[in-house]
Amino acid sequence: MTGAPAQSAVRLRLDLSYDGSAFHGWARQPGLRTVQQTVEDALCRVLALSAAPRLTVAGRTDAGVHARGQVAHLDVPAGSWAQAAGMAARRMGRLLPADVRMHAIDSVPDAFDARFSALWRRYSYRVCDDPAGADPLRRHETLSYSRLLDLGRMNEAAACCIGEHDFAAFCRRREGATTVRELLRLAWARPERGVAVATVVADAFCHNMVRSLTGALLAVGDGSKPASWLAGVLAARVRDPAVRVVPPHGLCLEEIGYPAAADFAARAGLTRRVRPGPGGCGGS
């Protein structure tokens, strides 16, 4: 007698945003409130699963880091999704706390991988250098900086980082993971008076990379370091004690880009070959 046939599975993509202020980061940690556990527990109820599912996320954010464009995927029994699909988004909206929102949930091809299929990730870092201090309504997403910043100098210094480099000087090393990344954009602008915002885009980020680059550029912007200093730090490929890792609350994962569906598998395969080992796609 043969056993019952295995139940077919369906892959789902989730689009999420969250205020990271009250979370101990994305990843599950025993006894701590995390985004992953919060979303997985809600999914368990909505999809009527016997145990909480495990999400694969595009960018594992640290404690205090926010997201507007986070993406994750999971595999669930096809029957569970068929029963829940019509009301899943609405039910998740009722179950999730106010500091997490799920904007979309839908089935995707099995080849889609939220982490490895990504082409690029875009982060922002928001700084207020107005002597009056940050807008109190945006204080949870803005770093208050006590010195005025020269964005021209900062953008001049940032130019040396564009392209593929070993960013070991700006990363916390993880065993088995490379620190080589392709930085597609690193630029500062003033969207409003007294506020400077960095836009940082790369194929992926290693741990602390965005916050370390931001700290180095703030030192250039306030005149503590010359614009040429950053190129020397990058070339040295070792952590420089003068590079400060800025606080997490100014950082936000804004958007993640993916190829056309037909290219999901090829992109995932390429990323796995280029960046083996754990922790390759965080950005905090």
List, by residue number, the catalytic residues.
62
User: What is the secondary structure of 29-97 as a DSSP string?
Assistant: -TTS--HHHHHHHHHHHHTT-SS----EESS-PPTT-EEEEEEEEEEEEHHHHHHHGGGHHHHHHHHS-
In angstroms, the CA 257 to CA 69 distance is 10
Angle between helices 209-221 and 151-158 (to 10 degrees): 130
Residues in the chain: 284
Beta-sheet pairing, 195-202 with 251-257 = unpaired
38: left (phi over 0), alpha (psi -120 to 50) or beta: alpha
Q: Please state, as a whole number, how many other Cβ atoms lie within 10 Å of the Cβ of residue 39.
A: 26
Write the single-letter amino acid at 156: E
Phi, psi (deg, nearest 5) at residue 137: -75, -15
DSSP assigned state of 281: T
In angstroms, the CA 192 to CA 194 distance is 6
Give Cα separations from 104 to 13, 94, 255 (angstroms). Answer: 8, 14, 14
Residues 6+ apart with CB under 8 A from 78: 7, 8, 9, 10
